[in-house]
């Protein structure tokens, strides 16, 4: 049976109806007539809900009456479910004096139902909500071309000439510091163009960085990000003055290229520009902004140029539009060309508008229907053609939003809870959606699968942007364009979906707060607003700031989702961080998701969470101080348990049999029972293991026995663990669903072909072998889905002295990291056609079986990054000792490289590559 979900438009109507039905099914001795009232109430709300579902499919704006009635129904549904949850909770937790309390609870339910009936009656004639609507939209097919579009984002149609122009401006040979400010309206592609230029020329600079500022900038974080991208150490709490001083010192003798993306104010620029040093080394700065005065200010202090981006030409717009829909610029049917010209005219040459409308058209099964195209064209109305650029984009976003299903609208609006330029981690987002009640199982698919399909559909429609891919080639994080985020926040306010308070702005309306996002940046004004705000009905609380601005959790009662990101204000010392009493969390009986980052003294809290009988996700990102956590004190309902290694889990993990994610779990050599318990977590999909200390005893075989029982495992990572050699090669049956296997510190004698090649779904592999046979790479190449490979060889490579990657090997590999004494790799033409990053670990005095290194590197046509870590022999061996390398003798008579000749050979090989590689050679 398909269960109803929480909706932004109808509140929690679906969930409410389900609970009313459940209340009728319970064997409760309710007062006379109460059950009949519940039936009447359920039927009345069901009828209204049906009308709301039809309203949600309307393409034109609803009138004021519909909007008012919809709002009243939504808020009533919220209130009704809240009252039912509280009453049922009291009824189910009568405890001592049970009869007296249950009688009181039943009486409360009777009064509640009567009051709710009166409120429903006040809505008036429910048939006022009924409207005549067109046929329900068809099911949407996922567009398989989205990844291709993302990969080609650096070559968007019409930007080639603009990129060349900016590159010419930056590479004019002038030694003075020069700034180019890219100016253009939102959605025109400023960031994309800046990234194209940055990628094209960054290899010619000593130091590069690409950072975003955003409309409400955290300048200390921006400055810290510039430092971190150079692998320098920084502390955000050092403050702006200290960070600027550090940057100026480090850039004093460097030729640098820095991109400052999304500048909004002159004030922010006046701070950031202080870190730039005019050292006559040909340094360059690129800024992007939509505000002309800001662009001029960026260039006024230095030798600068404002580059104004123009809309795409008619020809480029048409090519981009057709490619998005038909994957070819020549495939548009003749009967659609006339209407397509009208749509492109209304898009005004803005790439974001073109791609958004193209995505909507591409998502329809009847993509060749003139009726569909004309329907979309007419829904844009005249505003798109006549309004300023911001209004154009808003109308495009509105079109995309209205074309979403009810579930997708709700999931899309939820993204408004995150701040600008925030990288939204996919897995975390999906867990929040589920905890909020936006996702339910249907047609046999589990909630995680449904949630991920929602996420993929939002990417497919270009409503969210891919930020990062993970090591398996899957989307790791996403972000929202800032203008789209503005649109979402407006919709959230209209639907009373999220209240946002960020220190400068507040979206609080006249209605009760349902979800609160509080971001405090060093002032108490937000705190004053929150103190006067009723929060008892809030279902979600997302906090970012210092604990001194964190409101008491006693103000909340019905939270489902609680996220606390505690930061230390740069103006306060570490001693000023105060502990925060979170013991009242235990009274949040509806809590399903709890994530803390940077809180202190969590021990008392975490050892009492068993009372939270609905908790599904518990994540502790950072913990100050070590403590032991009794597993038995955690609720058995947990699906995801993510803890830092500072939190030591006791035995008893088998108590949590619903776990799907366990990170991190300690391997204890002397505790056989602990390892056996792991095998009872048969629902596990993600597992991360580590070993804190070495000791007497060996649980390798017991651990293996437990792993063999985890038939649903998708990912296993073992760090700081020393198991018996080849123990994992006896894993039977092989974990066929496994996509990630990171076991660099679990030694294999050689490539375990009979076992490893059964892992047909493996996308990411990190493995250590004692000896690599001559056919070792051929065996690994059978894993055709590999995207990421780290291969460490401890003792021996093939006798020929080269590790050869053959012409058909690894068709999907994008990242390769190889470790041995010498960079003895050879590449045949056609091998690894998608490889983008190549890394090498080697000795400064490694074995020199041949004079050549990296033979055939010129065949790696997609390579963009090459890194080498050159270790001193003694330091390198010390690392190998951790893997059990105690017996390897040094063969003194063997020819060896020296650091100078090795680096010279590497540089000579790199020069053969036809591309502009980003090359990093580091002495370790």
User: What would the pLDDT profile of 674-706 be if each residue is shown by its tens digit?
Assistant: 889 999 999 999 999 988 765 445 678 888 999
Chain mean pLDDT for the chain: 79
Q: Which of 20, 25, 38, 18 is nearest to 110 (CA)?
A: 38
Cα–Cα distances in Å, from 200 out to 197, 381, 704, 798?
A: 5, 40, 48, 38
Beta bridge partners of 239: none
Query: 302 with 177: CB under 8 angstroms?
Result: yes
Instruction: Enter the tokens of residue 669.
Output: 């050599």
Alpha-carbon distance of 747 to 728, in angstroms, equals: 9
Q: What is the pLDDT of residue 2?
A: 43
Using the predicted structure, report yes or no on whether residue 58 has a pLDDT greater than 60. no
Give the pairing of strands 475-479 and 424-425. Answer: antiparallel
Q: What is the pLDDT of residue 789?
A: 96
Report which secondary-structure segment, H or E, holds 219. Answer: helix 219-228
Query: 863 with 838: CB under 8 angstroms?
Result: yes
Q: What is the pLDDT of residue 385?
A: 47
Q: Who wins on pLDDT, 170 or 240? A: 170
Which pLDDT tens digit goes with each residue over 422-451?
899 999 999 999 999 888 777 666 889 999
Mean pLDDT across 738-749: 92
Mean pLDDT across 606-624: 83
Secondary structure (3-state) at 543: strand
Q: For the whole model, what pTM was predicted?
A: 0.76
Phi/psi region, residue 692 (left: phi>0; alpha: psi -120 to 50; beta: rest), is alpha
CB contact burial 267-294 (16+ within 10 A = b; e otherwise): ebbebbbbbbbebebbbbbbbbbbeeeb
Q: Who wins on pLDDT, 746 or 740? A: 740
Q: What is the pLDDT of residue 92?
A: 62
Which pLDDT tens digit goes with each residue over 229-271?
876 766 656 678 888 888 888 888 889 999 999 888 888 899 9
Number of C-beta neighbours around residue 819 at 10 A: 21
Longest CA span, the chain: 99
Mean pLDDT across 893-914: 83
Q: What is the pLDDT of residue 519?
A: 85
Alpha-carbon distance of 276 to 256, in angstroms, equals: 9
Backbone angles phi, psi at 789, to 5 degrees: -140, 125
Alpha-carbon distance of 68 to 808, in angstroms, equals: 64
pLDDT confidence tier of residue 301, bands split at 50, 70 and 90: confident
Q: What is the pLDDT of residue 429?
A: 97
Beta strands of 640-711 (E only): which ranges? 640-642, 647-649, 661-666, 686-690
Highest mean pLDDT, choosing among 68-82, 628-642, 863-877? 628-642
Determine the length of the chain: 924
Q: What is the pLDDT of residue 525?
A: 63
Mean pLDDT across 835-851: 83
pLDDT confidence tier of residue 561, bands split at 50, 70 and 90: very high
Number of C-beta neighbours around residue 429 at 10 A: 22
Alpha-carbon distance of 581 to 602, in angstroms, equals: 9
Report which secondary-structure segment, H or E, holds 605. Answer: helix 603-606
Alpha-carbon distance of 558 to 790, in angstroms, equals: 47
Report which secondary-structure segment, H or E, holds 198. Answer: helix 190-201
Q: How far is CA 669 from the centre of its chain?
A: 35
Q: What is the pLDDT of residue 580?
A: 66
Using the predicted structure, report yes or no on whether residue 335 has a pLDDT greater than 90. no
Q: How far is CA 307 from the centre of its chain?
A: 32
Mean pLDDT across 825-832: 92
Q: What is the pLDDT of residue 26?
A: 63
Q: Could you tell me what percent of the chain has a pLDDT over 70? A: 76
Beta bridge partners of 764: 740, 788
Instruction: Enter the tokens of residue 863.
Output: 């390579």
Alpha-carbon distance of 545 to 533, in angstroms, equals: 18
- Find where tokens 């064997």 sit: 27
At the second CATH level, the architecture of 313-498 is Orthogonal Bundle (1.10)
Using the predicted structure, report yes or no on whether residue 392 has a pLDDT greater than 60. no
Mean pLDDT across 560-578: 65
Secondary structure (3-state) at 329: coil
Using the predicted structure, report yes or no on whether residue 508 has a pLDDT greater than 70. no
Mean pLDDT across 652-665: 92
Alpha-carbon distance of 718 to 137, in angstroms, equals: 47
13-27, 416-430, 600-614, 900-914: range with lowest mean pLDDT: 13-27
Query: Taking each helix axis from N to C terminus, what angle separates 337-347 and 314-326, rounded to the nearest 10 degrees?
Result: 120
pLDDT confidence tier of residue 374, bands split at 50, 70 and 90: confident
Cα–Cα distances in Å, from 430 out to 415, 425, 495?
A: 11, 9, 22
Number of C-beta neighbours around residue 101 at 10 A: 15
Phi/psi region, residue 29 (left: phi>0; alpha: psi -120 to 50; beta: rest), is beta
Q: Which of 431, 424, 415 is nearest to 477 (CA)?
A: 424
Highest mean pLDDT, choosing among 223-227, 460-464, 577-581? 223-227
Q: What is the pLDDT of residue 832?
A: 95
Cα–Cα distances in Å, from 558 out to 83, 294, 540, 585, 589?
A: 10, 45, 8, 11, 7
135-139, 607-611, 906-910: range with lowest mean pLDDT: 135-139
Alpha-carbon distance of 908 to 853, in angstroms, equals: 9
Q: Please, what is the end-to-end C-alpha distance for the chain in angstroms?
A: 59
pLDDT confidence tier of residue 579, bands split at 50, 70 and 90: low
Instruction: Enter the tokens of residue 54.
Output: 């039809």
Alpha-carbon distance of 741 to 9, in angstroms, equals: 43
Using the predicted structure, report yes or no on whether residue 454 has a pLDDT greater than 60. yes
Q: What is the pLDDT of residue 642?
A: 94
Which pLDDT tens digit goes with each residue over 592-603?
999 988 776 566
Q: How far is CA 217 from the centre of its chain?
A: 21
60-74, 135-149, 151-165, 727-741: range with lowest mean pLDDT: 135-149
pLDDT confidence tier of residue 379, bands split at 50, 70 and 90: low
Alpha-carbon distance of 490 to 497, in angstroms, equals: 10
Q: Which of 360, 437, 418 is nearest to 10 (CA)?
A: 437
Mean pLDDT across 711-715: 95
Q: What is the pLDDT of residue 38?
A: 72
At the second CATH level, the architecture of 159-308 is 3-Layer(aba) Sandwich (3.40)
Cα–Cα distances in Å, from 835 out to 99, 789, 863?
A: 70, 11, 6
Report which secondary-structure segment, H or E, holds 272. Answer: helix 266-272
Using the predicted structure, report yes or no on whether residue 136 has a pLDDT greater than 60. no
Cβ neighbours of residue 109 under 8 Å, at least 6 residues apart?
23, 28, 30, 34, 87, 91
Alpha helices (H) in 364-480, listed in sequence order: 370-379, 383-386, 389-402, 406-414, 426-436, 447-460
Q: Who wins on pLDDT, 412 or 894? A: 412
Q: What is the pLDDT of residue 762?
A: 96
Q: Which of 531, 588, 537 is nearest to 562 (CA)?
A: 588
Using alpha carbons only, what angle is made at residue 151 by residues 146 and 154, rounded to the nearest 5 degrees? 120
Using the predicted structure, report yes or no on whether residue 6 has a pLDDT greater than 80. no
Q: What is the pLDDT of residue 470?
A: 94
DSSP summary character for residue 7? B
Alpha-carbon distance of 654 to 679, in angstroms, equals: 8
Q: What is the pLDDT of residue 46?
A: 74
Which pLDDT tens digit goes with each residue over 865-876?
999 998 876 444
């Amino acid at each position: 049976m398909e269960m109803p979900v929480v909706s932004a438009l109808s509140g929690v109507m679906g969930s409410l109806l389900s609970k009313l039905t459940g209340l009728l099914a319970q064997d409760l001795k309710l007062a006379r007539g109460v059950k009949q009232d519940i039936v009447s109430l359920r039927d009345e709300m069901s009828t209204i809900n049906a009308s709301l579902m039809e309203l949600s499919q309307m393409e034109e704006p609803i009138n004021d009456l519909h909007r008012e009635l919809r709002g009243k129904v939504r808020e009533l549904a919220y209130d009704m479910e809240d009252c039912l949850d509280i009453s049922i909770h009291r009824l189910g937790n009568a405890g001592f004096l049970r009869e007296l309390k249950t009688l009181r609870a039943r009486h409360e339910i009777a009064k509640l139902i009567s009051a709710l009936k009166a409120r429903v009656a006040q809505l008036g004639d429910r048939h006022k909500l009924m409207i005549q609507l067109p046929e329900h939209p068809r099911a949407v097919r996922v567009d398989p071309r989205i990844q291709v579009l993302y990969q080609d984002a650096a070559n968007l149609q019409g930007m080639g000439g603009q990129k060349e122009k900016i590159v010419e401006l930056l590479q004019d040979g002038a030694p003075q510091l020069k700034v180019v400010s890219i100016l253009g309206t939102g959605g025109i592609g400023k960031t994309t163009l800046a990234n194209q230029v940055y990628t094209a020329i960054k290899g010619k600079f000593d130091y590069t960085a690409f950072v975003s500022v955003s409309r409400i900038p955290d300048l200390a974080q921006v400055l810290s990000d510039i430092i971190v991208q150079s692998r320098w150490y920084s502390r955000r709490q050092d403050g702006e003055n200290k960070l600027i001083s550090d940057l100026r010192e480090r850039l004093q003798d460097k030729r640098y290229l820095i991109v400052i993306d999304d500048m909004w104010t002159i004030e922010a620029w006046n701070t950031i520009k202080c870190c730039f040093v005019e050292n006559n080394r040909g340094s360059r700065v690129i800024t992007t902004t939509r505000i002309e005065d800001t662009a001029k200010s960026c260039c006024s202090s230095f030798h600068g140029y404002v580059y104004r981006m123009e809309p795409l030409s008619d020809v480029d717009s048409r090519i981009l539009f057709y490619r998005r829909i038909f994957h070819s610029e020549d495939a548009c049917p003749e009967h659609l060309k006339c209407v397509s010209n009208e749509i492109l005219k209304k898009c005004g040459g803005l790439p974001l508008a073109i791609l958004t409308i193209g995505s909507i058209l591409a998502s329809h099964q009847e993509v060749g229907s003139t009726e569909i195209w004309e329907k979309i064209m007419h829904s844009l109305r005249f505003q798109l053609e006549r309004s300023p650029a911001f209004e154009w984009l808003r109308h495009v976003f509105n079109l995309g939003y209205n074309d979403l299903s009810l579930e997708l609208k709700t999931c899309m609006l939820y993204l408004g809870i995150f701040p600008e330029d925030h990288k939204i981690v996919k897995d975390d987002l999906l867990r929040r959606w589920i905890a909020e009640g936006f996702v339910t199982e249907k047609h046999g698919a589990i909630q995680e699968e449904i949630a991920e399909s929602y996420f993929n559909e939002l990417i497919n429609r270009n409503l969210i942007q891919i930020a990062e891919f993970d090591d398996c080639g899957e989307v790791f994080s996403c972000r929202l364009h800032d203008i789209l985020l503005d649109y979402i926040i407006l919709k959230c306010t209209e639907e009373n979906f999220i209240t946002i308070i960020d220190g400068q702005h507040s979206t609080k309306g006249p209605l009760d707060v349902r979800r609160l996002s509080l971001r405090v940046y060093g002032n108490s004004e937000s705190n004053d607003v929150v103190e006067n705000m009723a929060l008892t009905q809030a279902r979600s609380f997302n906090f970012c700031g210092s604990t001194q601005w964190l409101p008491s959790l006693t103000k909340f009662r019905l939270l489902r989702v609680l996220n606390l990101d505690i930061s230390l204000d740069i103006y306060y010392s570490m001693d000023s961080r105060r502990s925060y009493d979170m013991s009242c969390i235990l009274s949040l009986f509806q809590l399903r998701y709890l994530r803390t980052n940077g809180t202190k003294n969590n021990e008392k809290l975490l050892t009492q969470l068993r009372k939270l009988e609905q908790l599904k996700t518990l994540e502790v990102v950072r913990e100050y101080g070590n403590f032991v956590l009794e597993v038995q004190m955690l609720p058995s309902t947990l699906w995801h348990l993510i803890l830092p290694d500072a939190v030591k889990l006791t035995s008893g993990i088998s108590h949590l049999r619903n776990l799907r994610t366990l990170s991190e779990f300690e391997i204890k050599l002397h505790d056989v029972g602990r390892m056996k318990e792991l095998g009872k977590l048969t629902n596990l999909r993600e597992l991360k293991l580590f070993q804190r200390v070495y000791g007497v005893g060996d649980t390798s075989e017991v651990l293996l026995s437990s792993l063999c029982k985890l038939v649903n495992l998708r990912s296993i990572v073992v760090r700081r663990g020393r198991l018996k050699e080849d123990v994992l090669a006896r894993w039977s049956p092989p974990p066929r669903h496994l996509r990630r296997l990171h076991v660099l510190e679990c030694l294999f004698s050689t490539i375990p072909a009979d076992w490893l090649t059964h892992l047909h779904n493996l996308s990411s592999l990190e493995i250590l072998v004692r000896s690599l046979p001559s056919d070792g790479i051929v065996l690994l190449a059978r894993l055709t889905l590999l995207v990421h490979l780290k291969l460490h060889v401890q003792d021996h490579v093939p006798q020929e002295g080269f590790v050869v990657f053959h012409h058909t090997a690894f068709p999907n590999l994008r990242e390769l990291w190889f470790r041995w004494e010498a960079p003895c790799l050879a590449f045949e033409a056609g091998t690894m056609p998608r490889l983008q990053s190549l890394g090498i670990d080697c000795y400064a005095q490694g074995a020199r079986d041949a004079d050549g290194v990296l033979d055939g590197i010129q065949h790696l046509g997609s390579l963009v990054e090459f890194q080498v870590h050159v270790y001193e022999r003694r330091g390198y061996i010390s690392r190998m000792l951790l893997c059990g390398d105690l017996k390897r003798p040094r063969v003194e008579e063997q020819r060896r490289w020296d650091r100078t000749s090795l680096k010279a050979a590497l540089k000579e090989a790199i020069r053969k590559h036809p591309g502009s590689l980003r090359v990093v050679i580091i002495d370790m």
